[in-house]
């Protein structure tokens, strides 16, 4: 196959690093491309579409295993119910992170508001970082 994109052009077209594309190939989430007689990879339109799907899933915070499931790489094409299950599980995770971020915001805002901005050794921000984590905070 002489047609198709070399890996560098695929990376440019999809805004995904060459190393990431190679990693996706190694873990089997991206199909191995055809190679030229000299051994250079050549990617077709299906590779571009697949990589864009993976990239968008990752931008939305889906773990690679969930992207793998959505692509149907484990047990074949997923049913709508299976896709729904993955999406709801991810939504729950996103909502938990939002709660954690709101707790962090409250902690930092309170510490920053209490900060005297002086040269005293008592600093509310340092105290907040040194204290026990807030409920729901992750280690």
In a domain, residue 30? The reply is yes
pLDDT tens, residue by residue, 71-102: 987 667 888 999 999 999 999 999 999 999 99
Residues 6+ apart with CB under 8 A from 126: none
**Whole-number pLDDT of residue 75:** 66
In a domain, residue 118? The reply is no
In a domain, residue 2? The reply is yes
Number of domains in the chain: 1
Among 44-48, 56-60, 92-96, 115-119, the minimum mean pLDDT is found in 115-119
Helices (H) and strands (E) in the chain, counts: 6, 2
**Whole-number pLDDT of residue 74:** 66
Indicate the pTM of the whole model.
0.75
Domain range for 39: 1-60
Q: What is the CATH number of the domain that holds 36?
A: 1.10.1660.10
DSSP 3-state assignment of 5? strand
In a domain, residue 1? The reply is yes
């Amino acid at each position: 196959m002489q047609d198709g994109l070399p890996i560098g052009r695929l990376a440019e077209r999809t805004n995904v690093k060459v190393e990431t594309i190679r990693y996706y190939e190694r873990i089997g989430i991206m199909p191995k491309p055809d190679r030229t007689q000299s051994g250079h990879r050549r990617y077709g339109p299906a590779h571009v579409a697949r990589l864009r799907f993976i990239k968008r899933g990752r931008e939305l915070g889906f773990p690679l295993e969930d992207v793998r499931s959505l692509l149907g790489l484990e047990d074949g094409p997923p049913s709508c119910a299976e896709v729904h299950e993955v999406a709801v599980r991810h939504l729950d995770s996103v909502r938990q992170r939002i709660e954690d971020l709101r707790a962090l915001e409250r902690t930092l805002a309170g510490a920053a508001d209490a900060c005297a901005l002086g040269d005293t050794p008592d600093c509310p921000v340092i105290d907040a970082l040194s204290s026990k984590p807030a409920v729901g905070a992750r280690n």
